[in-house]
Amino acid sequence: MEEEQDARKIRQRFLTNCEINGYLNEKTRALLAVSGGVDSMVLLDLMMEAQKKWGFFLAVTHINHQLREESVHEVAYLKKYCQQHQLPLQVEVWEKPTKKGIETAAREFRYQVFAKQMQSGSYDCLMTAHHGDDQMETVLMKLLRGGQLSTYAGIKEAQPFSNGRLIRPLLGFSKAQLYQYASERELVYFEDHTNQELDVQRNRLRHLVLPQLKQENPQAMVHFQRFSQQIQWADRLIQTHMKKVLMENVVEENERVHFPWKLLAEMPEEESYYFLYAFFDHFFEKTAIVIKEKQIQLILQQCQQKKGQWKITLERGWVLQRSYEKIYLIQEKADPSKTIQERTEAYKLELNQRIRLDESCWIGLFTPEAAEEARKVDDWDEFSHDLWLSSHQELFVGKRQAGERIQLNSKLKKKISRYLIDNKVPDSQRKEAWVVRDQNENIYSLVPFTYSYLSIGVETDKIHYILLYKYHKEAIGRRT
């Protein structure tokens, strides 16, 4: 069993945490995001207690996503509540909910609204009611998905946001403790029935996995929170050290970047590993290279060999090559005599990884859960659709070739060139089109215009994926 704490102890812990970390004082202008659920209603009650102590300015913001019938009652109650307690309330309505990626789209809308409100109201901080159980779920999701060290940190208690900070002061409290507080304080709150649906990964972890972990060790939530903090500290330490190493050893001149070969050869394996990730991250704006784990391992293997020269092809024409005492990052120029339609290079779509096609667009093949996270990367226009593939199928993205046809329905197969003409796609936009094919040259998508009939259909022997393409429409427009 988790440690039970009465409302008085919870309130005191909350106030102490805010004071020690400098979250609140008499000069604070705080904006509190309230959904109407138990978490945010508890935080609202605690913030009003804090306001009595410090006398800061407190305002409430609520987003009506119009996804549930109960939302009307939630808004009505919050308006009445805030009026009774003399709290400024801002309500924003999500006018056009989308059918695909609703969770991600709703989150993006919320934080866009919050950022604008932070600026217009000159607030110092945005408070949200994420708690310890949310942290456990997030860390587990990150571990299952895989990634770099920093991704395993989960939810940060405080981080820069808009013109101030985003603060989550309830991360040290469990969901059960918040329910207990709400019960003692006789708070009114609303339950979201969609949180019970097990077709969502987070809900499965919440209802099936977390109870087992807490049964194994009642202190599991505390340990997860400590793990998250330790990961954040370790990553910060690594980044600080690597920034110093980069500044001392990496030289950028004209169109190339280089560093001494001995730097990697003589480094301990763990240091060279993080150096390479820091190196490619540092030059991402210049190269748009999304480095992969297997590429890092290949580079490390090459550095341990005695060959004086070697070359590793990365993406978008960039190569990393050793020339005796130096390692260079260079972009090899494409043959200018070839038109876009004549280029034949294709990039393999690795699951849950983005491929930068150029500075203004990227594409990836994702599981539905990973697609939700990937959508958050860039605030660009989006083209996406479902794909059902066999386990042995591989997908590649490249430019369209002369004479290629796309299956538009069960009976109609049309030349891509004719499809673009029939749909009055300007010639400048046709040059920006990408084609997604499998290893047998079957076309699954004409990006960002339409998808093939081959991608449709739920079959028991096939796996559900999301093809996601994000592009900066204005940047593409300037090129054309």
Helix (H, G, I), strand (E, B) or coil at 347: strand
pTM: 0.65
- For the four alpha carbons of 283, 289, 292 and 294, in that order, the dihedral sign comes to negative
Model confidence at 20: pLDDT above 70: yes
**Structure-block tokens of residue 149:** 């060290």
Lowest mean pLDDT among 32-36, 89-93, 424-428: 424-428
Distances (CA, A) of 62 to 42, 91, 189: 15, 5, 14
The answer to whether the beta carbons of residues 274 and 238 sit under 8 Å apart is yes
Model confidence at 433: pLDDT above 50: yes
Query: Between 82 and 401, whose confidence is greater?
Result: 82
**Closest by Cα among 361, 362, 363, 370 to 465:** 370
The residue type found at 233 is W
DSSP structure string for 354-385? EEEEETTEEEEEE-HHHHHHHTTS--SEEEEE
Query: Between 343 and 19, whose confidence is greater?
Result: 19
| Secondary structure letter of residue 131 according to DSSP | B
Q: Omega into 448 within 30° of 0, i.e. cis? A: yes
Q: What pLDDT is stored for residue 182 in this prediction?
A: 96
**Structure-block tokens of residue 451:** 């998808």
- For the four alpha carbons of 20, 22, 28 and 31, in that order, the dihedral sign comes to negative
Lookup result for tokens 């946001």:
161
- For the four alpha carbons of 291, 293, 295 and 300, in that order, the dihedral sign comes to positive
Among 89-98, 115-124, 416-425, the range with the most confident prediction by mean pLDDT is 115-124
Lowest mean pLDDT among 11-25, 30-44, 182-196, 454-468: 454-468
Helix (H, G, I), strand (E, B) or coil at 260: strand
Average pLDDT in the chain:
87
Distances (CA, A) of 225 to 113, 143, 286, 422: 29, 14, 36, 56
**Structure-block tokens of residue 426:** 């300007």
Cα(136)–Cα(261) distance, integer angstroms: 42
CATH of domain 250-331: 3.30.465.60
Q: What pLDDT is stored for residue 342 in this prediction?
A: 42
**Closest by Cα among 424, 417, 420 to 402:** 417
- For the four alpha carbons of 324, 325, 327 and 332, in that order, the dihedral sign comes to negative
**Structure-block tokens of residue 328:** 């260079």
Query: Between 325 and 40, whose confidence is greater?
Result: 40
**Closest by Cα among 316, 352, 362 to 469:** 362
On whether 40 is known to bind a ligand per the annotation, the reply is: yes
Q: What pLDDT is stored for residue 480 in this prediction?
A: 43
On whether 39 is known to bind a ligand per the annotation, the reply is: yes
The model's confidence at residue 386, banded by pLDDT at 50, 70 and 90, is confident
Size of the chain in residues: 480
Query: Between 362 and 27, whose confidence is greater?
Result: 27
The answer to whether the beta carbons of residues 320 and 335 sit under 8 Å apart is no
Contacts 24+ apart (CB under 8 A), 227-230: 227/139, 228/135, 228/139, 228/153, 228/154, 228/155
The model's confidence at residue 477, banded by pLDDT at 50, 70 and 90, is very low
136, exposed or middle or buried, with CB in 10 Å at 0-12, 13-18, 19+? buried
Mean pLDDT of 452-475: 76
28, exposed or middle or buried, with CB in 10 Å at 0-12, 13-18, 19+? buried
Cα(141)–Cα(295) distance, integer angstroms: 24
The model's confidence at residue 459, banded by pLDDT at 50, 70 and 90, is low
Mean pLDDT of 264-287: 91
Q: Which segments of 253-380 does DSSP mark as H helices, in order?
A: 261-266, 269-282, 284-287, 293-304, 368-374
Sequence spans of domains, the chain: 7-232, 250-331, 342-479
Q: Which segments of 71-171 does DSSP mark as H helices, in order?
A: 71-84, 102-120, 132-145
On whether 36 is known to bind a ligand per the annotation, the reply is: yes
On whether 35 is known to bind a ligand per the annotation, the reply is: yes
The model's confidence at residue 241, banded by pLDDT at 50, 70 and 90, is very high
**Structure-block tokens of residue 396:** 């590649």
Model confidence at 428: pLDDT above 90: no
On whether 22 is known to bind a ligand per the annotation, the reply is: no
| Secondary structure letter of residue 2 according to DSSP | P
The answer to whether the beta carbons of residues 44 and 32 sit under 8 Å apart is yes
Q: At the topology level of CATH, where does 7-232 sit? A: Rossmann fold (3.40.50)
**Structure-block tokens of residue 383:** 């083209």
Q: What pLDDT is stored for residue 457 in this prediction?
A: 63
4, exposed or middle or buried, with CB in 10 Å at 0-12, 13-18, 19+? exposed
